[in-house]
Amino acid sequence: MPFARSAWGVLGANLFVILWGALVRATGSGAGCGRHWPLCNGEVFPESHATRTLIEFTHRVTSGAALLLVVGLFWWARRAFPPEHRARRAAAWALGLICIEALVGAGLVLLRLVGENASPARAAYLAFHLLNTFLLIGSIALTAHWAVHPEPWRQPAMGPARWLLGVGLSLVLVLGMSGAIAALGGTLYPVGSLAAGLRADVSPAADLLVRLRVLHPVLALPAGAYLSAMVWWVIRARPTSGESPWARAVTILVLAQLGVGITNLLLHAPTLLQLTHLLVADLLWIATVLFAASALAAAPAGKPGEAMEATPAGSGAGR
């Protein structure tokens, strides 16, 4: 379907923008355009060829392009689907969230929460930035998914699937937000060895960002274990959800993320590995969102009569 393929393309473009934004933070280029927005150093096209200026300017240009792509996707969804269609609704969510994303990016510059700023306000701001970013790419992914699979969610009278999936999605969000804070702490306070980093993490004299960054690896292991178990539990509750490719994707990406995270820790977070870590986190979030959407549309386990009762009214099942 052309619309779905285009939606996946818009998602890919936004993932590129997200990774480039992480490069801006990792290289300290957030102040590359000064305290000017949307202009760069007061100019439409900056004359400076400084590396940090080029990195920041490129991020602004690609962010603007991503905004236009989402606007186009929303317009196409309005023309292609009826008002209550899920793909159209998800595209509307994406449009609202990318507008918030643009305002958040402007705020980082105008409030000077860039460069060497190590304030708690910056950490909180980046955590919210990550939350909004995840919701944005989740909405775009759902736009693509629902364009092809618009089946309504089944609502059984009993069943743990919704709660299991809700906790899993919440865990990925919290883990991502803690990762944003940990990445900021690692950028502003780099370490020369793992032992030195661990000593700094537990030192009462260390900066708050340094002490907070330990939360991410502490949360990662139990969160990864829960997500892997969640897939198994949900498939037992709704057997046909196991046919979704996203079930396997969640499990594979959990293992990949743990591997990349441990390597990132041991190698003291080189920039390329930071970007890889973020990319896998984005993909894990997308896979979890789409597994949840697929599972909630799957038939619940139980006797035939129970499954019929869980089928939405008017679907024609069991007639």
- Over residues 305-317, the pLDDT tens digits come to 443 333 333 333 3
| AA identity, residue 140 | I
Confidence grade of residue 157 (pLDDT, cut at 50, 70, 90): very low
Using CB atoms within 10 Å of the CB of residue 158, give its burial: 0 to 12 exposed, 13 to 18 middle, 19+ buried: exposed
73 touches 140 (CB < 8 A) = yes
CA 165, 168, 170, 174: dihedral to nearest 10 degrees?
Answer: -170
Confidence grade of residue 302 (pLDDT, cut at 50, 70, 90): low
Instruction: Determine the distance from the C-alpha atom of residue 131 to the mean position of all C-alpha atoms in its chain, rounded to a whole number.
Output: 7
Q: What angle do CA 255, 256, 257 make, to 5 degrees?
A: 90
- Over residues 127-141, the pLDDT tens digits come to 999 999 999 999 999
All residues at 6 or more sequence positions from 68 whose CB lies less than 8 Å from its CB, including other chains:
none
147 touches 4 (CB < 8 A) = yes
The single-letter DSSP state of residue 117 is -
Which tokens in the block code for residue 129?
């930035």
- Over residues 7-20, the pLDDT tens digits come to 999 999 999 999 99
Residue with tokens 């150093």: 41
Give dist(CA 6, CA 70) in Å, integer. 10
What proportions of the chain, in percent to the nearest 5, are helix, strand and coil? 75, 0, 25
Please tell me the number of Cα atoms within 13 Å of 299 on its side-chain side: 14
Average pLDDT, the chain: 87
- Over residues 46-78, the pLDDT tens digits come to 887 889 999 999 999 999 999 999 999 999 999
- Check residue 36 and give left, alpha or beta (phi > 0: left; psi -120 to 50: alpha): beta
